[in-house]
Amino acid sequence: MSALTIKEFSDPYEDLIESVQHRLRGYVFSLLGNAADMQDVVQETNRVLWRKREQFEDGTNFWAWAAKIAYFQVMAHRKKLSRDRHVFGNELLHLMADEMSEEEGDVADTAILDQCLGKLPDRQRTAVEQFYLKDQSLSEISRAMELKENAVSQLLFRARKSLRHCLQGAEYQIQS
């Protein structure tokens, strides 16, 4: 009688979960920027993946499904931390999540985002920092910057567009 290996008893769904762990940790870290929070969110994501295993359709993109679940777990975690002024706003988080989840290789280091933020013109960077990091309203920012609210909205729109292009350019450089 031949000895059975542990692999012969493994669950294919478990193997799928295991196969995305590295990317999942990188993806969640890129959205949270904190290793301890990342561990908590990845652990909760794995629980949800396991609980919802019957909902996964064989033959579909498991990474995309796992990343979407992780995104919602990040959002739930961020809701708990919403009083922390250093948490990015949901709009920028969504932009970052879209950019990072489309990447085929390992998730890029958050230093790329810092580089992209550093490339923004001063007024755009100030608007982004006040809106996303300090959680100030458009009216508060417009008063502080002595601009109309529409002008602040335009600054934020242009900043998001610039960040998207910068992140896409960084993704291209990583793949090359």
> For the chain (length 176 residues), average pLDDT per consecutive 10?
51 87 88 83 93 88 91 86 56 63 46 78 86 77 90 86 77 47
CA–CA gap between residue 63 and residue 104 (Å, rounded): 10
Instruction: Please tell me the predicted confidence (pLDDT) of residue 146.
Output: 93
Cα separation, 138 vs 14, in Å, equals 46
84-114 burial code (b ≥16 CB/10 A, e <16): eeebbeeebbebbbebbbebeeebbebebbe
pLDDT number for residue 167: 74
For the chain, which domains are there? 12-85 (1.10.1740.10), 108-176 (1.10.10.10)
pTM of the model: 0.46
Q: Which string of DSSP letters, residue by residue, matches 14-25?
A: HHHHHHTHHHHH
